[in-house]
A and B are shown apart, each in its own frame.
Chain A
Amino acid sequence: MDEDTLRQLLARAREGDIEARGALIKAYRSFVFSVVSAYCRRALELGLDDELSIGLIAFDEAVTRYQPERGVPFLAFARLVIKSRLANYFRQEGRYREIAGGREISEEMVQVEAAAAWEDFLWEEAVQDRAEEIKDYEQALEEFGIALEELVSISPKHRDSRLALIRAAQSIAADEKIFGRFGPERRLPLREMASKTGLSPKVIEKNRKYLMALAIVFRYPERFIYLNSYIRPRAR
């Protein structure tokens, strides 16, 4: 879903448009499941595992609570809400277990989670979440044999060149077969990439690492939410 459509659907959903809310949940169902599975560190099945339902409810809550003026991408915020609700769920599960074991738990925790405080906590958490994503990106680059330092020297200085390469990286990221051929020691299908991206094989080979660095961002939009949201070239 492109950013403009997402923005419009969010606005309509917050104004009470049920159809828009439903469209968002349908569009991002797989995103919710991937966040929940990653958090639980196991494969889950809808109908059998409560966590998936909690994730969907949390996503719906994120649609309601999202404040675009805070400058955090919606998906990043939704991921935070989902993780927070799952944490709450597991904490409550643990409390019930503890109660069953004869130990009393204070209600203070519940009060701390009062709506306003919880929301503030979420926005603050977004800063930490963003830093985590950046670290994750650096690690992902390393796996492909790319260091951030070398990207400084190899990234094209001309804006028009960068825009052309960003478009090429987006189409590479969208093609699983071609993206799979990228790697430090692998031979690129230059002709195929050239016909797909419109760039010459020479340009692709010369900018291999730069293309890869960007394609990683575009290939995993749900993992690199902040970066995807930030790299938004606009033609002058």
Chain B
Amino acid sequence: MRGLLLKRKNGGGIIITHDGLFCRGVVGEHDALGDEVTVEPPDRRTVQWWLAAAALSILCFGLGVYRMFFPGVWAYVALDLDPSIELALDSQLRVVGQRGFNDSGNKLLSPLDLRGKPVDVCIGYLLERAYAAGYLSEGENSVVLVTVTSQPSHRKLGTEALASFVAESFPARQGGVEIVAISTGSDTRQRAVSNGLSTGRYLLQQELRRSGHMVSDGSIREDPLQQIEEEHGLTVAALVGSNGSVLIRTWDMPGIGPAADPQVFLAAPVPVEGEERE
């Protein structure tokens, strides 16, 4: 700050600037009264340090309070029916965030606010809504891809538990359903999100590319999973490897005829020959 030196005392001084600010600061040894000098305001710097410390304390406190009311994300669960949806969960497995990755996913979520509700309730509710909206139909074979990204493991978020839960909650009572549940790391999820894809569809895209199938981003994002399977001759179950579980639920057991109760069994992962997993 530049100004006219009005007073000197113990290495410090008081100046007045062109626009009338009286200011205290450190002045040079040879500066004389009336000289135009540049000063470093020491008091202000001290005050700034105090302000910074106070601001940091308030920030920490505020963050604590914020986390109390809005807990951080502990895990992500993505559902790919035709709609692709992701739910962010806290450590109590309550939903703290939701997002759709394709048009049908956005449409399905747009009237909903799932925050604060338990994840199992939300998954059941979303399956019901997808059924009501016509994304899941009676008498057809459906594919559901569930992807979980969680740093510490949780019993309820195990791939087998998740697949079983989806099978039990699946609303269509006729026709078969194949549920593929996969556990992935946060790096994979991060790459998927930066590509605008759900983690499940991103893994599918990677698998297709490894198999030499070129598929556009738009197609992998929007097309029904069954359609992708049929077009490229690849099963979604091939994604699983050692990181997940496949559940197949069917009423019509081949060669036995229609069953009174749905049959649910855990299928063995489908290996992909000579391919490395991500």
Contacts and interface: CB of A to CB of B under 8 A. Distances in A.
A155 B32 CA distance: 23
A152 B24 contact: yes
Among A149, A151, A152, A213, chain B packs the most CB atoms within 10 A around the CB of: A152
B19 interface: yes
A133 B34 contact: yes
A157 B35 CA distance: 23
B50 interface: no
B99 to A, nearest CB: 44
A77 interface: no
Q: How large is the interface on A (under 10, 10 to 19, 20 to 34, 35 or more residues)?
A: 20 to 34
Contacts of B24: 149, 152
A137 B33 CA distance: 11
A162 B20 CA distance: 6
A72 B52 CA distance: 42
B14 to A, nearest CB: 5
A131 B33 contact: yes
A130 B20 contact: no
Contacts of B18: 230-234
A131 B20 CA distance: 19
B20 A149 contact: no
Interface stretch (B2-10, B65-73, B250-258): B2-10
A80 B104 CA distance: 87
Interface in B5-35: 5-7, 14, 16, 18-24, 32-35
A23 interface: no
A199 interface: no
Contact of B19 (A131, A148, A162, A226): A162
A190 interface: no
A127 B32 CA distance: 9
A231 B32 contact: no
A226 B34 contact: yes
A196 to B, nearest CB: 19
B4 A148 contact: no
Interface in A131-173: 131, 133-135, 137-138, 148-149, 151-152, 155-157, 159, 162-163, 165-166
Given A137-B6, A148-B22, A162-B21, A231 B33 contact: no
A207 B6 CA distance: 20
Contact of A149 (B14, B19, B35, B36): B14
A138 B7 contact: yes
A134 B19 contact: no
A230 B16 contact: yes
B33 A148 contact: no
Nearest to A166: B20
Nearest to B23: A152
Nearest to A159: B19
Contacts of A148: 6-7, 14, 22
A204 interface: no
A148 B5 CA distance: 11
A233 B36 CA distance: 16
Contacts of B21: 155-157, 159, 162
A186 B4 CA distance: 30
A135 B6 CA distance: 8
Contacts of A151: 14, 22
Contacts of B7: 134, 138, 148
Contact of B4 (A156, A159, A213, A226): A226
B22 A152 contact: yes
A76 to B, nearest CB: 10
Contacts of B16: 227, 230-231
Contacts of B32: 127, 131
A214 interface: yes
A138 B4 contact: no
Contacts of A137: 6
A227 B20 contact: no
A163 B19 contact: yes
16 contacts: A131-B32, A148-B14, A149-B14, A151-B14, A152-B14, A152-B23, A155-B23, A166-B20, A213-B22, A227-B4, A227-B16, A230-B4, A230-B16, A230-B36, A231-B20, A233-B18
User: Which 7 A-B pairs have CB atoms at the shortest separation, nearest pair first?
Assistant: A130-B34, A131-B33, A151-B22, A155-B22, A233-B19, A162-B20, A134-B33
Interface of B: 4-7, 14, 16, 18-24, 32-36
